[in-house]
Structure 1
Amino acid sequence: MKPKRTLVGLPVYQPGKPLEEVKRELGLSEVIKLASNENPFGCSPKVWESLKEEESFTAMYPEGLAPELREELAGHLGVAPSKLIFGNGSDEVVQMIARTFMEPGDEAVMADITFPRYKTQTVIEGGTPVEVPLKNGVHDLKGMARAITERTRIVWICNPNNPTGTIIRREELESFLAEVPEDVLVVMDEAYHEYVDDPSYPDTVSLLDRDPRLIVLRTFSKIYGLAAFRIGYGVAAEAVVTELNKVREPFNANRLAQRAALAALGDQDFVRRCFEANRDGMKQIQSQLDEWGLPHFPSQGNFLLLDTGRPAEEVFQCLLRKGVIVRSGAALGYPTHLRVTIGNEKQNERFLDELAQCLGKRRD
């Protein structure tokens, strides 16, 4: 049986290597995973308390529109509830957008290099990805504007960008939007939004009222620590959300995920603590890299893309044997780089100790 034509040659997404798999393969008892930009502090304790309320509802389907979570999140963001759509992770909202607005022969403009699911979903729908190289690890918005044609339906922008962690700033985005035709959607994927501390970062949600072309994506998988629950969301004009709901699976956000997200959203003190710990951890790793003279991109996420000066796969395997899982830049388009998630203080120290051994560096 043959697959659909658009799937021929399409690669399978390769996530960060699972912690359990590494333990089994290498016979290690102590392994730390700094590969998938997960929150090393887990989630708010309030999540586990709230899940007790779902014990008697496990046989029931969830409410498809997530009304309780919708109301709370709308209040948190300052938007109308009708402007929200939930997904099984924000990845599913990416899929919904492509399924709703892309047809065979259409084009989607995106960066090269960025989160790969934009390209994958474009190709699955029979569209053509138009990739514009990054400039110093940052989206080249002027180049992306020039790449828009009459066949362009969507522009994908990951901000902060994965895997570089770099951002585009408010003025740059507003200038770009002024050049984009009215019939082209601009999707701002802000999975790492809560980690940003740069004051020039754009407040995209505030732009929605005057720019119905925008779709803003966010997630509970990162700073909220709910990656296992798989829940993310999009914020867009009500007319856009109406169209997206036509392709949304009826029960895509499960009951436990909705309850967990509701509790996590209500604990902003936990979010602030994670933000501060990430900022401290970022400085902890950056200062050592600077001392070693290893270049790295100025990240506004919870990860760093650093240049080892050696083949990435070689360093990745060395760390793996020592029980430290990171992401090899070879799979991300940076053949001498590693992407490392910022862990807790102890994890960061272990990463630096093991990296020093792999690279023949000294630690004072």
Structure 2
Amino acid sequence: MVSIAQKVRTGVGDIQPYVPGITDDELKHRFGLHQVIKLNANENALGTSPRALAAIRAEVETLYLYPDGGSTLLREAIAKFHGIDAGQVLAGNGSDNIIKMLSETFLQPGDNIVVPFPSFSQYNFGAHVMGAHVIEAPLRSDFSYDVEALARAVNDQTKLVYLCSPNNPTGTILKHSEAEWLLQHLPEHVMVLMDLAYNDYSTNPHRVLETPALLADPRVVTLHTFSKLYGLAGLRVGYALASEEVWNYVHRVREPFNVNRLAQRAAAAALDDEEHRRNSQQHAAVSQAYWAEQMHRVGLMAVPTEANFVLVRTGDGRKTVQDLMQQGMMVRAGFAGLDEYVRITFGTQAENEACVRALADLQLGN
């Protein structure tokens, strides 16, 4: 009898499925806990935008209707927010969906992508689905970008270069001058995908920004998500900006109705929620300073971060995760090349303080 493995398309068996962090329900069940502190998924500690929640309540009675297949209302809201034309906007079921669509549009077997290392695993996933190769360009020892290394990694088969700023999981930024240098030194056949999921948490004046000149480059695509700053992770909605010509081809592989009704309405409303956006940014800024100070105090090295999370060196990341889980605390480990580190999402002030105490206790016990 022919096995299922023999029927599967070549290469699919080699793809490693994305493994999300343990859920709060799983942790409660495993250790018999009644309450947990969830700091493992870079979610917004302030919750969902109140305007988005109001939009969801207003829309919930219409769920028997299909969503707008073109996400017109949302795309127009995004275009207004960025001061661009709606034709330059693509909406997706989270930025993961957009990464996969870009991979399906531009990659084929024999091509390759260049990614910083370590960085977000979904870039690799999209390439592997299409039978393309992944070339990793390591970050510097301080986890800053090495754009010269990225440029050297590119060859004639390279189709896409990914840049994540602030980078997940390191929290380090790509400077605007570095992005400009890279674009000047890359061949015309290479598309540059800038993942700016956490960029609104950074106040660094040197960070890469979506200037008119940057968006005018037909090779550039910028990715955004409503999961982080706007607190809409459960609805899965993201978007990307690029030239209309890029989207004319991506739309050919886009599934119909790829963004649901609630997500479209909630995301459009969240863009107008200036108070929630400002509060979320302020919370991240306060937390960035707090974690830097406290990790120095307890003798742990924390990578200076521009995001809503911090990468902390504990010596054995997986052991730290297990030890903290027993105390009802969830942080993230398991990133390739970062076995000595854990990534900790900023929680409320009380949650941050509890996690610092737990880390200090573990440090004293080592």
Normalising to structure 1: TM-score of the pair? 0.96
Partner of 1:203: 209
Is contact 1:138–1:161 with CA below 8 Å preserved after alignment?
A: no
Once the two structures are TM-superposed, the CA of residue 209 in structure 1 deviates from its matched residue by 4.4
Structure 1 residue 263: Cα displacement: 1.3
- What letter matches 1:337 in structure 2? Y
In the alignment, the residues of structure 2 paired with residue 21 and residue 205 of structure 1 have an alpha-carbon distance, to the nearest angstrom, of 43
What do the CA deviations read for 1:148-182 (whole angstroms, capped 9, x no partner)? 11111110111111110101111111111100111
Deviation of 1:56 after TM superposition, in Å, equals 3.1
Of the three residues 93, 98, 103, the one matched with 2:98 is 93
Quick one: which amino acid aligns to residue 6 of structure 1?
G
Aligned residue in 2 for 1:57 = 62
| 1:205 CA drift (Å) | 4.6
Equivalent residue in structure 2 for 1:281, among 279, 287, 293: 287
2:341 aligns with one of 337, 348, 354: 337
Distance in 1 separating the partners of 2:301 and 2:206: 23
Distance 2:120 2:57 in 1: 35
Return 5+ residue gaps in structure 2 as ranges. none
Is 1:357 aligned with 2:361?
Answer: yes
Change (3 A) 1:291 1:361: farther
1:327: how far off?
Answer: 0.5
Offset of residue 140 of structure 1:
1.7
Out of 320, 327, 331, the residue aligned to residue 315 of structure 1 is 320
Alignment deviations for residues 51-99 of structure 1 (CA, whole Å, 9 cap, x no partner) = 2322332111100111111111101101100000011100100000000
Is 2:64 the partner of 1:31?
no
1:348 to 1:361, Cα distance in 2 relative to 1, 3 A: farther
For 1:159 and 1:5, locate their aligned partners in 2 and report how far apart those are by CA, in whole Å.
Answer: 33
Kindly indicate whether the alpha-carbon contact (under 8 Å) linking 2:298 and 2:360 is maintained by their aligned counterparts in 1: no
Map of 1:251-290 to 2, 5 A cutoff? 251-290=257-296
Q: What's the Cα RMSD here?
A: 1.4
Question: Aligned AA for 1:45?
Answer: P
Task: Read off the aligned partner of 2:306 and give its amino acid letter.
Answer: Q
TM-score (norm 2): 0.96
Decide whether aligned partners of structure 1 residues 205 and 229 sit closer, same or farther in structure 2, where only a CA change above 3 A counts: farther
Aligned to 2:351: 347
Q: CA deviation at 1:346?
A: 0.5
Does the CA-based 8 Å contact 1:208-1:236 persist in structure 2? no
Q: Secondary structure at the match of 2:249?
A: helix
Q: Deviation string for 1:207-247 (max 9, x for gaps)?
A: 34431100000010001000000000010000001111111
For 2:100, give the aligned amino acid.
Q
Asked whether 1:231 is paired with 2:250, we answer no
Tell me, in whole angstroms, the C-alpha distance in 2 between the residues paired with 1:28 and 1:304.
Answer: 25
In structure 1, the gaps of 5 or more residues are none
Where 1:339 maps in the other structure, the secondary structure is: strand
Q: CA deviation at 1:190?
A: 0.6
Structure 2 matches for 1:114-133, cutoff 5 A? 114-133=119-138
Q: Does residue 83 of the first structure (1) align with residue 88 of the second (2)?
A: yes
| 1:159 aligned partner, one-letter code | S
| 2:162 pairs with 1:149 | no
Tell me how far 1:326 sits from its aligned partner: 0.0
Regions of 4+ moved over 2 Å: 204-210, 330-333
Q: Aligned letter for 2:108?
A: E
Could you tell me whether the CA contact under 8 Å between 1:307 and 1:338 is conserved in 2? yes
- Corresponding residue for residue 178 of structure 1: 184
Name the residue aligned to 2:297.
Answer: 291
Measured against aligned partners, the alpha-carbon deviations of 1:26-57 in whole angstroms (never above 9, x if no partner) come to 11011011001000111122222212322332
Give, as a single letter, the amino acid of the residue that structure 1 aligns with 2:226. F
Query: Hey, what's the Cα distance between the residues in 2 that align with 1:347 and 1:358?
Result: 17
Q: Give 1:134 shift.
A: 1.1
Provide the rounded CA distance (Å) in 1 between the counterparts of 2:364 and 2:34: 25
- Alpha-carbon distance between aligned partners in 2 of 1:342 and 1:209, rounded to the nearest angstrom: 31
Distance 1:242 1:60 in 2: 26
Tell me what 2:74 maps to.
69
Residue type at the aligned position of 1:189: D
Partners in 1 of 2:25 and 2:215 — Cα distance? 45
* Aligned mates of 1:361, 1:260 — CA distance in 2: 46
CA-CA distance at 1:9 after TM superposition: 2.6
Question: How many residue pairs are counted as aligned between the two chains?
Answer: 360
In the alignment, is the contact (CA less than 8 A) between 1:84 and 1:235 conserved in 2? yes
How far off its partner does 1:361 sit? 7.1
How far is the alpha carbon of 1:344 from its aligned partner?
1.0
Q: Which residue of 2 aligns with 1:15?
A: 20
Residue type of the partner of 1:343?
A: G
